[in-house]
Amino acid sequence: MIYWLIGYMWLFIHRPFEVWPWLGDLHIERVYMLLMLGYWSFFVQKTWTHNRINPAILLLFLSMAVSTVFSNYVDFSSVSVQNWLKILVFYVLLMSSVRGEDELKMIVISFVCIMALFEIHSLYEYSCGRGVYRMGIWRMIGVGTSLSDPNSFAASVNYGIPLLLPVMMLNKTRFRRVLTIGCLGIAVLCIILTGSRTGMLGLVLLMLCGALISKSRLKFFFVFFVLAIVVWGNIPEELRTRFLTLFDPSLGPSSAQGSAESREKFFWIAMDIWKANPIFGVGPDSFRYASGTGQPSHSLYAEVISCLGSVGGISLFVLLKGFYQNLRNGRTIYKEYSNRADLDFSYCLLLAVTISVCQLLFLGLGGHNLFRFTWVWYGAFSALALRFILEKQVAEVEKEKWIF
């Protein structure tokens, strides 16, 4: 079943049916999901990972479902709602199929490899002239059509980088460590070439988080500072100017400043929508219709209050609390465990997921990321990681009882 899950992750992230239209006509993603569900139903010995993330995900799903029922703009046939239902199904399959830490390791390693393949393919297409001219510069985009926008693509890459941390814990040879560092380098290059200012800020946040969890903070900061100088000196002038507009908007076109100002304007529009629909909002991805702007909200917080209302806001808070409590519990056990090396992977996965959630919240200041798969998939990773930490803690306690 693990290989079925890995295959679906590749289909969902790389989306070859969007890259090659003839595959889209065959609807291979639907066929694959049906075959996977059939295999899971009849041949998989099912388990279930009990965790506080489960009711949080269920509450978020119910808030979306109810807001869809009462929405004047979307129904259950809309693309945004159907995509989230697919994400929820994958969550159930993941939580009921992964039985051991080795299988979780396979899932996480495969996710990192799929992201690297997606980025390499996007880099290749960019080198062949595929991109978009926006904000006065030529910008890299992701392959396919879903989340291929420069800002969305940069955000996707940012959210994937933290999972290199637990993978690094598994690298016992220099060659594997080099490969992991290479994946990081490719991700950083992609973010730079997108010209995404929020993507660059997300990368800086990642580096700060890396320094905070590192035992050699001064060394980490020194290496980061040197690399930043080298990278800054070698990127095209137009990209340097683009990133400098974070500090001096006059350096860029007026459209860039207008894009930044629109986020604040859309937030207050979202507040007006919430006041008119305070409980359930106007429905998933309906800000563009309810606001009359024809554009998405460009903000996680505007998206939550306008699309899902107060119930959605509470659901998101419960989910965030679940992530935090999982990390806190895992950290407590990790500190007290006799052989921490046994817990390195799962604990680092909890750390990585938490960092990604912080990125989702930070980049949510300038991007609408509520309906991304990242919330749900990383919720499963967090729950599974804590489960295997708890299992090892129980095994150690039982071992000590047997000895004494």
The neighbour count for residue 367, using CB atoms within 10 Å, is: 26
Backbone angles phi, psi at 137, to 5 degrees: -140, 160
Q: Which tokens is 162 given?
A: 């933290």
pLDDT in tens, 136-188: 778 888 887 777 888 889 899 999 999 998 998 887 788 888 888 888 889 98
Closest by alpha carbon to 344, among 177, 107, 167, 181?
A: 167
Q: Which residues pair with 187 in a beta bridge?
A: none
Note the pLDDT of residue 169.
84
- How many degrees, rounded to 5, is the angle at CA 359 between CA 212 and CA 382? 85
Note the pLDDT of residue 404.
47
Distance, in Å, from the CA atom of 365 to the CA atom of 300, rounded to the nearest integer, reads 6
| pLDDT over threshold 80, residue 26 | no
Count the residues in the chain.
404
Distance, in Å, from the CA atom of 285 to the CA atom of 372, rounded to the nearest integer, reads 12
- Which residue has better confidence, 288 or 315? 315
Distance, in Å, from the CA atom of 247 to the CA atom of 121, rounded to the nearest integer, reads 32
Cβ contacts of residue 78 below 8 Å, gap of 6+?
68, 284, 285
| pLDDT over threshold 60, residue 403 | no
Is 118:14 a contact under the CB 8 Å cutoff?
A: yes
Prediction pTM value: 0.89
